[in-house]
Amino acid sequence: MEKKRFTISVFTEDVVGILNRVTIIFTRRKINIESIAASESEVQGIHRYTIVIREDETKIIKVVKQLEKQVAVVKAVYHGENDIVFQEIALYKISTEALVSGGQAEKIVRAHHARVLTVEKEFTVLEKTGQKEETQQLFEELEPYGILEFVRSGRVAITKPMRTLASIVEELEAINKSH
Amino acid sequence: MTSKKETTGANAVIQSLLAEGTDLVFGYPGGAIMPIYDALYDVEDRLTHILARHEQGAIHAAQGYARATGNVGVCFATSGPGATNLITGIADAQIDSTPLVCITGQVGSKLLGTDAFQETDVIGISMPVTKWNFQVTKASEIPSAIAKAFYLARSGKPGPVLIDITKDAQFEKFEFHYKPFEGMRSYIPTPTCEANYLNEAASLINKAKKPFILFGQGVLLSGAQMAFKTFIEKTGIPSAWTIMGLSSLDSDHYLNVGMLGMHGNYAPNKLTNECDLLIAIGMRFDDRVTGNLDSYAKQAKVIHIEIDPAEIDKNVKADVPLLGDAREILEALIPIVDKRSHDNWLSEFRKLEQEEIAQVIQGELHPTGDILTMGEVIHQINELSDQKNIFVTDVGQHQMITCRYAKFKATNSSITSGGLGTMGFCLPAAIGAKMGREDAQVIAVIGDGGFQMTIQELGTIFQYKTAVKIVVLNNDFLGMVRQWQELFFDKRYASTTMVNPDFQTIVRGYGIKAKMVDQRCDLKLAVQEMLEYKSSYFLEVKVGKENNVFPMVATGASVAEIRLS
């Protein structure tokens, strides 16, 4: 089966070690994680991981069930590229002198809708949010000026279906009470 | 039930175990768990501790106890090597869904992460093989951690959990207050089955011409034995078992058509690819059961009764998934399925069974040559006992032979390492089983290889006078590997020959009555003596060195390609 890019959203209780339990499931099947982003979700006490991988869908379905089997995982879902709206953020540190002397800097920053976060005597930090191709494009255009440091976040994604996390949590709490 | 008093973390561990109804713990002390052992000293009348001879022995004993009784098995070990020695048993319990609570001592919390003496990251190491694990660094966390541990170990699909307790938390004093765990939103132990699926399943069952049931340990774990029997008797469906499902149904039941899988019976393997409806109950289509999945029951509709959603469609696609507790689902199905019989279909199984009897079983159970077979030993036990024994087996040829030929009239009576295939499992597991079920005749059947993997547990038998019966089927080979070398590696017997010591002398050193049989004429009397003996008994039988277990589904072959020789 053909490998495609999928985004998996994993919602977990806020407990030590759960990130490890989540990644072990990928390691076991030798699936490489392209990117991972983790932080607290809109529901207090529940963390959200956004994990991007390339795999065939039948394998992803099994992985998602095994993720959900973890005791501290509240919910796990996977999405194809068309089911989500996603972004990444990239930061670029470049020499202020190189940027100014080249003459093209303003043009590049404007064309990419990049933000200037700080200008110091020695360096300037630019920020660009977008999809990987967009942050990569800016990277390539800035490269001639010498990139001193670069970092790109993992993908964060919002899903298109209208089910809210709060309603899922509410349902699970109700099931739990009835047991 | 609640109680309040100022106590140490170590004592809180003991009080929490008592509150959960634990009266037996298997373990091995060491530096980092000494406060807990000290607290244990005060309650020895209520909480018996069994000192194994190795932590692996302790955990396999806890597994045997859990499997024989249905209770949660509990074991203790110290930090570092004590904890790592538990790992094989934890992995075994995870894959065979055995409820265990493992408590390990850990270095003081200030030393965590510093490579302190006997420090191991046991949380990290045990993570992939536990249902849940947790490190306690404060005494106040102990009651809730243990309550949660028991809840998770025994609920839903059971499994092993581990609590790692730092030494300072064991010494720390706090106000003890125990209350049972009440569940958590991120964990639904038993999923709900959709009603329309139940109806769909019933309609498939009512229409099927050649329905076939595969049952596994789910029947035992959910206590579905009665419901299962009622269900198959009403629907008249031939039923075959996985080795984990063995003893769910009487061996001689007219609808019991035998064992599935690699060394299972001929008919159930062969006819898997001829049925029109496959009903899997509490089993997970392990590769040892299915053989090549690309040619497995492709012609059949599949109903899968299973408590773990991750098992649905994992190996075999289910047309109708029935998620939930096997007993509840069977009880819901019984009133909506028709009373039927499938005599012609059942007779197809019996016809193939005759072929297997003629070509394999007769020679195994009633051999005519001089060489003793493993099968005739098991057959003698069947003949001379009430068939209500608990058989505990290790891994290899003797395991397959015992599972194939031992007769079961009592349920929860077969204990074996199914999923992990852990050699060395049997002897300690049998000790645990006997301690949990003192009323039962517990017979440990082991090969000469596996016996020596945990042979030190003879010391435990000696110390506690555990009346377990040990049958070593000795072929001076690692028999199953040798069989594969014979069949698939041109008889190149690389490192499978065993030069064995005199087991009789060793066993007698532990004060165990021992007998060796190498001639058929002595077998019956020896088995008789063993069964009647009140204390532990060791029977070694010298069996054919190069006997093979058949039938066999070779790796990568289809179940329909099962060979009789």
Give the CATH number of the domain where residue A43 resides.
3.30.70.260
How far is the C-alpha of A46 from the C-alpha of B184, rounded, in Å?
13
Claim to verify: residue A71 and residue A97 sit in the same structural domain = no
For the question of residue B383 being annotated catalytic, the response is: no
Report chain A residues whose CB lies below 8 A from the CB of B313: 61-62
How far is the C-alpha of A73 from the C-alpha of A22, rounded, in Å?
9
Q: Which helix (H) or strand (E) holds A55?
A: strand A46-55
Asked whether the beta carbons of residue B185 and residue A62 sit closer than 8 angstroms, the reply is: no
By the 10 Å C-beta count (0-12 exposed, 13-18 middle, 19+ buried), B556 is classed as: exposed
For the question of residue B469 being annotated catalytic, the response is: no
Give the C-alpha distances (Å, rounded to integers) separating B561 from A139, B288, B482, B552. 59, 14, 22, 9
Q: Is residue A178 part of a domain?
A: no
- Give me the architecture of the B4-177 domain, per CATH: 3-Layer(aba) Sandwich (3.40)
Strand order in the sheet with A46-55: A33-40, A46-55, A4-13, A73-79
Q: Is residue A144 part of a domain?
A: yes
For the question of residue B228 being annotated catalytic, the response is: no
Per DSSP bridges, beta strands B256-259 and B277-281 are: unpaired
Was domain B372-542 assigned CATH 3.20.20.80? no
Question: A19, A53, A79 — which closes off a domain?
Answer: A79
Report chain B residues whose CB lies below 8 A from the CB of A177: 183
Asked whether the beta carbons of residue A74 and residue B185 sit closer than 8 angstroms, the reply is: yes
How far is the C-alpha of B308 from the C-alpha of B292, rounded, in Å?
23
Strand order in the sheet with B48-51: B48-51, B24-27, B73-77, B100-106, B160-166, B132-136
pLDDT at A177 over 50: yes
Asked whether the beta carbons of residue A69 and residue B309 sit closer than 8 angstroms, the reply is: yes
- A43: domain range? 4-79
Q: Identify from A24, A30, A176 which residue to disrupt to test chain B contact, counting B C-beta atoms within 10 A and taking the largest count.
A: A176
How far is the C-alpha of B271 from the C-alpha of B285, rounded, in Å?
16
Quick one: pLDDT at residue B5?
Answer: 66
Residue B449 phi, psi (nearest 5): -75, -55
Q: Give the pLDDT band (50/70/90) at residue B34.
A: very high
Residues A58-82, mean pLDDT to the nearest whole number: 96
Claim to verify: residue A9 and residue A71 sit in the same structural domain = yes
Residues B191-202, mean pLDDT to the nearest whole number: 95
Q: Is residue A165 part of a domain?
A: no
Claim to verify: residue A9 and residue A68 sit in the same structural domain = yes
DSSP state of B202: H
Query: Domain coordinates of chain B in residue numbers?
Result: 4-177, 195-349, 372-542
Q: Which of A69, A72, A177 sits opposite B308 (nearest CB)?
A: A69
Claim to verify: residue A102 and residue A42 sit in the same structural domain = no
Claim to verify: residue A74 and residue A120 sit in the same structural domain = no
Quick one: pLDDT at residue A2?
Answer: 86
Average pLDDT, chain B: 97
**Min CA distance, B75 vs chain A (Å)?**
22
Was domain B195-349 assigned CATH 3.40.50.1220? yes
Asked whether the beta carbons of residue B186 and residue A12 sit closer than 8 angstroms, the reply is: yes
Asked whether the beta carbons of residue A17 and residue B127 sit closer than 8 angstroms, the reply is: yes
Residues B55-65, mean pLDDT to the nearest whole number: 98
Other Cβ atoms closer than 10 A to B6: 9
Claim to verify: residue A49 and residue A69 sit in the same structural domain = yes
Give the SS3 label for residue B244.
Answer: helix
How far is the C-alpha of B278 from the C-alpha of B259, rounded, in Å?
15
Claim to verify: residue A70 and residue A12 sit in the same structural domain = yes
Report chain B residues whose CB lies below 8 A from the CB of A66: 310
Quick one: pLDDT at residue B472?
Answer: 98
Chain A's closest residue to B159, CA to CA, is A71
Q: Is residue A166 part of a domain?
A: no
Claim to verify: residue A50 and residue A91 sit in the same structural domain = no
How far is the C-alpha of A8 from the C-alpha of A4, rounded, in Å?
13
Q: pLDDT tens digits for B426-455?
A: 999 999 999 999 999 999 999 999 999 999
pLDDT at A107 over 90: no
Residues B172-189, mean pLDDT to the nearest whole number: 95
Torsion sign over Cα B98, B103, B106, B109: positive
For the question of residue B55 being annotated catalytic, the response is: yes
Asked whether the beta carbons of residue B188 and residue A71 sit closer than 8 angstroms, the reply is: no
Q: Identify from B112, B126, B185 which residue to disrupt to test chain A contact, counting A C-beta atoms within 10 A and taking the largest count.
A: B185
Other Cβ atoms closer than 10 A to B15: 21
For the question of residue B306 being annotated catalytic, the response is: no
**B213, B204 contact by CB (below 8 A):** no
Claim to verify: residue A72 and residue A98 sit in the same structural domain = no
How far is the C-alpha of B167 from the C-alpha of B80, rounded, in Å?
13
Residues in a beta bridge with B50: B26
Q: Which helix (H) or strand (E) holds B539?
A: strand B537-542
How far is the C-alpha of B109 from the C-alpha of B32, rounded, in Å?
11
Domains contained in chain A, number = 2
Q: Is residue A161 part of a domain?
A: no
DSSP string, B368-435: -SSS--HHHHHHHHHHHS-S-PEEEE-SSHHHHHHHHH---SSSS-EEE--SS--TT-HHHHHHHHHH
Q: Which of B123, B183, B186 sits opposite A13 (nearest CB)?
A: B186
Asked whether the beta carbons of residue B123 and residue A17 sit closer than 8 angstroms, the reply is: yes
Quick one: pLDDT at residue A105?
Answer: 78
Angle value at C-alpha B142, between B139 and B143, nearest 5 degrees: 125
Residues B540-560, mean pLDDT to the nearest whole number: 97
Give the C-alpha distances (Å, rounded to integers) separating B437 from B64, B327, B431, B441. 10, 24, 10, 9
Q: Is residue A93 part of a domain?
A: yes
How far is the C-alpha of B65 from the C-alpha of B60, rounded, in Å?
8
Average pLDDT, chain A: 93
**Min CA distance, A161 vs chain B (Å)?**
21
- The active-site residue, picked from B131, B148, B157, B167, is B167
- The active-site residue, picked from B118, B225, B463, B528, is B118
Q: Where are the alpha helices (DSSP H) in B262-333?
A: 266-272, 287-290, 326-333
Claim to verify: residue A56 and residue A96 sit in the same structural domain = no
ipTM of this predicted complex? 0.93
Q: Is residue A111 part of a domain?
A: yes
CA atoms within 13 A on the CB side of B86: 39
DSSP string, A71-99: TTEEEEEEE-GGGEEEEEEEEEEEEHHHH
Quick one: pLDDT at residue A47?
Answer: 97
Residues B508-525, mean pLDDT to the nearest whole number: 98
Claim to verify: residue A60 and residue A8 sit in the same structural domain = yes
Report chain B residues whose CB lies below 8 A from the CB of A16: 135
Asked whether the beta carbons of residue A71 and residue B127 sit closer than 8 angstroms, the reply is: no
Claim to verify: residue A14 and residue A75 sit in the same structural domain = yes
pLDDT at B1 over 70: no
How far is the C-alpha of B50 from the C-alpha of B61, rounded, in Å?
9
Q: What is the CATH number of the domain that holds A147?
A: 3.30.70.1150
Quick one: pLDDT at residue B4?
Answer: 59
Cβ contacts below 8 Å, chain A against chain B, sum to 56
**Min CA distance, A166 vs chain B (Å)?**
12
HEC assignment per residue over B81-150? HHHHCCHHHHHHHHHCCCCEEEEEEECCHHHCCCCCCCCCCHHHHHHHHCCEEEEECCHHHHHHHHHHHH
